[in-house]
Amino acid sequence: MTARPIAIVGASAAGLAAAEALRRFGWSGPLTLIGDEPHLPYDRPPLSKQLLHGAWEPDRLLLRTTEQLAPLDLDLRLGTRATGLDAATRTLTLDGEHLACAGVIIATGVTARTLPGAENIAGVHTLRTLDDALALRARLTGTGRRLVIVGNGVLGCEAAAVARELGHDVTLVGIDAIPMAAAVGTEIGELLAEEHRARGVTLHTGAVDGFETTGERVTGVRLTDGTLLPADTVLVAIGSTPAVGWLGDDPALDTTDGLRCDAYCAAAPGIYAAGDVARWDHPVHGRPLRFEHRTNASEQGMAAARNLLAELAAEGTEGAGNGEAQERHPFAPVPYFWSDQYAIKLQAYGLTTGADRVETTVLDRAERRTVALYGREGNAVGVLTTGLPPRQVRALRAVIASPAPWEEARERIRTATAAG
């Protein structure tokens, strides 16, 4: 009887990290990596920065080459969609094929949200995949485009910075008056707004009502207040949706805002999740969290792999080995994210969204050097910096590695930033 594989659904950073960890921790059985895109696993953060700018070509985004993947002995299924999962039997449906598995790791990430009718209009783009980025880059070749970016979150702001550096006329529209305010707070958001305006970006507050077109090509973005923003290119950057629709309505799985997991990243026996799609019980913060952060994808992929392998070893599954992964461990990372806009590098540790208290210290406004502390229920839970040297930024991680009393963390932040 042929041994059942471990299947990983999602061939990006989290899925690749899981595959490599499974082999490293001793899985000797079949290993299937499934991706709905035709490309080898690639890195997504450069899509809205270096690739869109033209500084990098697609081959530089590859996380591993074909030769580097060979030692993993993968059954690599690129351009293949998972369309269903029977959690009770650990059976995947792949474009009509049924694949019975020893275990499954779900790393399907998220899909870009769009606006009604946008998919039928030439010149309207989203930016989630390599193909998306290449299509938008082609539109931004040369100069003189009138680009309207709908959505002033992280993705919209990064793309606006790149487009301005390329010499295009850029309007950034959001329903919130301050860019990225939900993610970083109002004061950091205002500083970013200053930088975008100084670089020539037009900031506009409003909600989109529809598009103006000539034939099938976009000519403008219409807002609910009647404002018409001329455009020959539009980027819709209004957030994303966890890619869980393919899981159907299996009662064993909770797909509310991602795939719900316990502290070990397990959604059901033998079913684990990692990366943007996973919403798991963070043991330090004491509540379910979901992060769309690049660092978390790799770290959680490794954690899910280790914990799945420990579960399979306990079940006596052939190929699970008796090596390093013999005990499950809760996944308790210190979240980290970054964003590059012009010469500004934002770096954050911990939780910056959902804070009930934010204190921002502007160390040098002209140099965009700031530090912001984020609190929740009396504790400091996150810190964000712009313009600080790496040594200082690393020192701040320890301050919020676990929630600390606000005043204690505040003093430690002051000491750490004064030292530089």
Q: Give the model confidence (pLDDT) of 364-412 as tens digits.
A: 888 889 999 999 999 999 999 998 888 888 888 888 888 889 999 999 8
Mean confidence (pLDDT) of the chain: 94
The answer to whether 154 touches 384, Cβ cutoff 8 Å, is no
pLDDT tops 90 at residue 98: yes
The answer to whether 126 touches 132, Cβ cutoff 8 Å, is yes
pLDDT tops 80 at residue 305: yes
Q: Residues in the chain, how many? A: 420
Nearest to 173 by CA among 220, 207, 211, 126: 207
Q: What global pTM score does this model have?
A: 0.95
Q: How buried is 286 (Cβ within 10 angstroms: 0-12 exposed, 13-18 middle, 19+ buried)?
A: exposed
For residue 29, the model assigns a pLDDT of 95
Secondary structure (H, E, C), 190-241: HHHHHHHHHCCCEEEECCEEEEEEECCEEEEEEECCCCEEECCEEEECCCEE
Q: Do the bridges between strand 379-386 and strand 404-405 make them parallel or antiparallel, or are there none, so unpaired?
A: antiparallel
Residues contacting residue 68 through CB under 8 Å, at least 6 positions apart: none
pLDDT tops 80 at residue 325: no
In order of 287, 376, 378, 382, 388, the CA distances from 406 in angstroms are 19, 9, 6, 11, 22
Q: Give the model confidence (pLDDT) of 248-280 as tens digits.
A: 988 999 999 999 999 999 999 999 999 999 999
For residue 132, the model assigns a pLDDT of 98
Domain architecture of the chain: domains with CATH: 6-111+241-315 (3.50.50.60), 114-238 (3.50.50.60), 343-418 (3.30.390.30)
